[in-house]
Structure 1
Amino acid sequence: MTTLVEGPHPGGFLVWEAFRDYTRETITIASGTLEPGTVLGKITASGNYAAHDPDATDGTETAVAVLWGKADASAGEVPAVALVRGPAIVNRHDLVFGGTPSEAEITAAHAALLDVGIRVR
């Protein structure tokens, strides 16, 4: 028998949000193939978004948003929807981090998301 594996769904990380027209925006993903729930940072120079990277120095070291659905920017910039402000609550177990961040880096990302009104539970 064939085993099927279901991946993350768009918005599957969301527990609660006040008003979707307020908390979500269409953004531009600069690079990468990203899954729903990917924690994003904002590139200071361009204003575009990319996967949060605690070791970066381009603005993506600070978590500021969560990607709503899958985005494939491997061939260049693409538009995408992201949860960019709260009030909102997200499930910590459904968030996606690039690389292998330490617990301290994940905790710092959660705190940075709280700064924009996105509570991680």
Structure 2
Amino acid sequence: MTVVYDPDGRLDAELGLPLDRDPHMRLVRAAISWTSSTTLQPRDGDQIALQLTGHARVVAAEVRRRCADLPSDAEPRVLAEAVLEEADRRLAQPRLGTLRCVQMRARQVRALYERLDRLDKVTPVRAQ
């Protein structure tokens, strides 16, 4: 699993960072399945939130890159831009290391991948 520390969102998809989707989606599914009775140590929660934040930023950069190939009024682009705006807003919030924070970031990663999958259906995938 590639862990990305990019709290300010300065990394760009052009750097060639792999999305490493499978292990991150396993973490997303696990985090979303946790309940209020799940004991999450603050340090663990902060590390998980940090990992999900970095990964969300990399996926968001890829979504932005794919959107650039679409006309500005194309429905897939408009929907992707709405998801990106929400991601930017949520990822700018401070990491608290709480269960709620971790789950919010996990849901954001999931939403970004869902949008990326939809863009894959309308945009040719560039050679990497």
TM range (shorter): under 0.3
Q: Which has the higher helix share?
A: 2
Question: Higher RCO, 1 or 2 (CA under 8 Å, sep at least 6)?
Answer: 2
Decide which structure has greater strand share.
1
When the two structures are superposed, what TM-score results if normalisation uses the length of structure 1? 0.25
Structure 2-normalised TM-score? 0.24
The structure having more radius of gyration, on CA atoms, is: 2
